[in-house]
């Protein structure tokens, strides 16, 4: 694995190794010591993803450069490709990219591959296309909570259409063998017909929640919508996950949200802070999942070769 671009480009073995290592780190295993520097290149706002990539890198002993785009030479007309080439020429081993354009990470990887300064590209969210490290930490959090993928019924609710998290979660949960994946939202927030074929579509919230073992709530992605937004109160009434609606879920079902949360719009205050919420576990596990990712990308003798196995993982834990 030279780059980390989306779930679809990962093989099953890599997914298994990343999740197993994430679980080990969540359970207290120590990060491997890595050498080198990575750069956070965020062309869209972020709190969780940017900070957790930085903490993950530091935990593994990597130096971190946070590019301040407003004060970078991008303001003088330098292209994204040339900015990345410049960082690579200075010895940056991996660029963590967040970008508003779909597939920007893959395009950057393609532009730099085969050039004089190889660098790994890590997709930290590109447009509505993919947010694969979020999917990884969501899966790690569900595994930590003890889910059995082959029995898991999960509902993803809210603005699915504009959500890169929904796309990556559906792709990963399907690969892991989830028993049933539901997506639910108002018509204008459901993906075009034919997209996300692994998921069952619901245009009403209550039936989508019936009996599920986990619900993932999504905010309205206002930054990607030019049309009028629904009124927050009316939206919450119809599409908000509240305490009354939690009763529809399976007993002890889990509530997740990738953040940032818009309280009392897509999810009620009492649910965010309630006993079934795994939202802060997701945030915490984001650091571990991203540490596992850095290890996988940067620790090997050469890119693409798995650097640890179930045997070495077990040995490290002893």
Q: Do residues 198 and 174 lie in contact, with contact meaning Cβ atoms separated by under 8 Å?
A: yes
The separation between CA 251 and the C-alpha centre of its own chain, rounded to angstroms, equals 26
- Residue placing its CB nearer to ligand CP in the complex, 240 or 258: 258
- Cβ closer to ligand CP: 45 or 61? 45
Nearest to 65 by CA among 89, 49, 46, 41: 41
Residue 82 CB, nearest distance to ligand CP (Å)?
Answer: 25
Is residue 134 near ligand CP by the rule CB under 6 A?
yes
The candidate with the shortest Cα–Cα distance to 4, out of 47, 71, 68, 56, is 56
Instruction: Answer yes or no whether residue 46 interacts with ligand CP by CB under 6 A.
Output: yes
β-bridge partners, 64: 38
Does 224 bind ligand CP (CB under 6 A)? Our answer is no
Nearer to ligand CP, 131 or 153 (CB): 131
Strand order in the sheet with 37-42: 63-66, 37-42, 92-99, 120-126
Minimum CB separation of residue 35 from ligand CP in Å reads 26
Q: How far apart are CA 260 and CA 36, in angstroms?
A: 31
Binding flag, residue 284, ligand CP (CB under 6 A)? no
Residue closer to ligand CP, measured from CB, 132 or 258:
258
Q: Which stretch binds ligand CP (CB under 6 A): 15-23, 47-55, 63-71, 174-182?
A: 47-55
Stretch that binds ligand CP, among 10-18, 43-51, 150-158, 287-295 (CB under 6 A): 43-51
SS3 225: coil
According to the binding rule CB under 6 A, does residue 48 interact with ligand CP?
Answer: yes
CB of 220 to ligand CP, least distance (A): 14
Q: Are 194 and 222 a contacting pair, CB within 8 Å? A: no
Which residue ranges make up the site for ligand CP (CB under 6 A)? 46-49, 125, 134, 258-260
């Amino acid at each position: 694995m030279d780059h980390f671009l989306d779930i679809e480009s990962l093989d099953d073995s890599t997914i298994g190794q990343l999740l197993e290592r994430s679980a080990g780190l969540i359970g207290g295993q120590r990060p491997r010591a890595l050498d080198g520097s990575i750069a956070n290149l965020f062309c869209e706002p972020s709190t969780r993803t940017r900070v957790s990539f930085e903490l993950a890198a530091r935990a593994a002993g990597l130096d971190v450069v946070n590019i301040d785009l407003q004060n970078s030479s991008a303001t003088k007309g330098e292209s994204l490709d040339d900015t990345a080439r410049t960082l690579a020429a200075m010895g940056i081993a991996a660029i963590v990219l967040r970008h508003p354009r779909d597939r920007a990470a893959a395009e950057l990887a393609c532009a730099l591959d085969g050039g004089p300064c190889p660098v790994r590209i890590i997709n930290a969210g590109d447009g509505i296309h993919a947010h694969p490290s979020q999917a990884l930490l969501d899966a790690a959090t569900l595994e930590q909570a003890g889910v059995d993928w082959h029995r898991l019924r999960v509902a993803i609710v809210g603005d699915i259409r504009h959500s890169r998290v929904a796309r990556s979660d559906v792709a990963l949960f399907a690969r892991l063998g989830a028993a049933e994946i539901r997506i639910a939202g108002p018509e204008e927030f459901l993906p075009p017909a034919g997209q996300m074929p692994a998921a069952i579509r619901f245009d009403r919230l209550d039936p989508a929640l019936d009996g599920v073992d986990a619900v993932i709530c999504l905010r309205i992605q206002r930054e990607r919508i030019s049309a009028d937004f629904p009124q927050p109160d009316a939206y919450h009434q119809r599409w908000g996950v509240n305490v009354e609606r939690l009763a529809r879920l399976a007993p002890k079902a889990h509530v997740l949200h990738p953040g940032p949360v818009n309280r009392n719009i897509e999810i009620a205050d009492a649910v965010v802070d309630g006993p079934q919420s795994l939202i802060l576990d997701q945030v915490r596990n984001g650091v571990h999942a991203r540490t596992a990712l850095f290890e996988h990308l940067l620790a090997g003798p050469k890119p693409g070769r798995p650097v640890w196995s179930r045997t070495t993982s077990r040995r490290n834990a002893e």
